[in-house]
Structure 1
Amino acid sequence: MGRPRTPLLDRERITTTALELVDEQGEFSVPQIARRLGVQTGSVYHHVDGRDGIVELLRERVAEGIDPGTLDERPWDRALAAWARSYRAAFAAHPRAIPLLMTSPVRAPRVLAQYERAVALLLAAGFPLPEVMPVITALENVVLGSALDLAAPETMWEVADDTATPRLAEVLAAVGGHRADRGFDIALEGFLADARRRLAEA
């Protein structure tokens, strides 16, 4: 029998399968990937550098949704805001991947290249060296928290008895749609205002 024209296994298929599992259950294992692809577990290890290697492939796949060109915009705060919105959209598409990716070190070269551009943007704007990573970390806190919020129900507070929490019931009735988007806008503007203040005081 001749060899199949399409390989049964490659890094692309492994990444796609791992992301499907993460989207479904928030986690993956190499044996699960192998079973879904109909191969032996050892065959998966021939293509990737263990579980950590698959995590980095997932990071690269999710980060493909981030537009690095946003970091070319000027001034710096406009660029950072555009990058934040693109970053949020990419991770909101795979919210269950966030805990997995945020609890392992970033090693993927293409992802590190985006951080390099963000660092260069802030340094060129005049941020002191020790302030750059705290600023980026704070932005990620806003972005990733909001990306998780987008996966939550529109109404996160279920008030069964209006008389027990009347003010909460009142504001929930008044909030209207797009609560998560509006909350993100407030948090992002607050972050940018603080970053501008820090830069002015530097």
Structure 2
Amino acid sequence: MAALRLVDGTGEFTIAQVADALRVRPSSLYNHVSSKGEIVEAMRSLVFREGGVSREGGLAAGDSGPWEQTVRAMLRRYRECFARHQRLIPLVTAYTVSSPEVMGMYDELAETLRAADVPDGQLLDVITMCDSVVFGAALDLAAPDEVWAVDQARSPALIAAIQQAGSGRQRSDRAFDLALDILIAGIARLADGA
């Protein structure tokens, strides 16, 4: 999709840029889409399909077992979707989720969390928290290998942490795994009424 290529390159797009990339007039695009928001939703759907996250395939397709295992697998796939298109994150967070494919993932996540006894009144809070962890972790994959300049750190605790953290994808994956552990433990406490 032309708009996604533009976003991957610059972090933004205009209707005129998309039309130019497609070699059509901007007015021609409006025969197919009604707004920039609709294009953003189309990109969100495409990213989910590319990552195997869709109503047809289901984010949790093939995942069985305890809810914790299912949520962990779901969020890993979700992170990978946006790891390939990190510049899309600010755009998708600025528009209402409406794509049937994307809503299908949220339906599955809500049903999984409800089955884990998360109260209905807190389901959307937990889903929002999952989004926050996933988007942050996807953005972290774009971080430089050396995220913190150890020579500028003054705290012995921070210096030791930086030296032991590792770098690149390994550091990011380890941090994401820890975030998932904490997130799932928190969801379990919430479900238990703690």
The answer to whether TM tops 0.5 is: yes
Q: Distance in 2 between matches of 1:69 and 1:135?
A: 17
Residue 34 of structure 1 deviates from its aligned partner by: 1.0
Q: TM-score when scaled to structure 1? A: 0.85
Residues 21, 27 of structure 1: 8 Å contact kept: yes
CA RMSD, 1 decimal: 1.9
Query: Does the alignment pair 1:83 with 2:74?
Result: yes
User: Where does residue 6 of structure 1 map in the other structure?
Assistant: none
SS in 1 for 2:86: coil
Moved more, 172-181 or 32-41: 172-181
Residue 123 of structure 1: how far off its partner (Å): 1.7
Kindly indicate whether residue 37 of structure 2 is the aligned counterpart of residue 42 of structure 1: no
* Deviation string, structure 1 residues 23-56 (Cα, Å, up to 9, x no partner): 0111100000111222111111111122111011
Q: Percent identity?
A: 39
Q: CA deviation at 1:159?
A: 4.1
What is the aligned residue count? 186
SS at match of 1:113: helix
Is 2:117–2:192's contact at 8 Å kept on the other side of the alignment?
Answer: no
Superposition pairs for residues 21-60 of structure 1, below 5 Å? 21-60=6-45
Q: Measured at CA, do residues 126 and 169 of structure 1 come closer, stay the same or move farther in structure 2, by a change above 3 Å?
A: closer
1:161 deviation in Å? 5.4
What residue number does 2:149 align with?
Answer: 158
Question: Counterpart amino acid of 1:83?
Answer: M
- Asked if the contact 1:88/1:146 (under 8 Å) is kept, the reply is yes
Pair 1:166–1:48, CA change in 2 (3 A)? same
1:66·1:83 contact (CA, 8 Å) conserved in 2?
no
Q: 1:197 to 1:20 in 2, by over 3 A?
A: same
8 A Cα contact 1:17 1:33, kept in partner? yes
Counterpart among 140, 145, 148 of residue 149 in structure 1: 140
Residue 185 (1) aligns with residue 177 (2)? yes
In structure 2, the CA distance between the partners of 1:191 and 1:40, relative to structure 1 (3 Å rule), is same
User: What's the counterpart of residue 12 of structure 1?
Assistant: none
Q: What TM-score, normalized by structure 2, do the two folds share?
A: 0.88
Partner of 2:166: 176
Q: Extract unaligned runs of 5+ from structure 2.
A: none
Aligned-pair CA distance for 1:173: 2.6
Larger Rg: 1
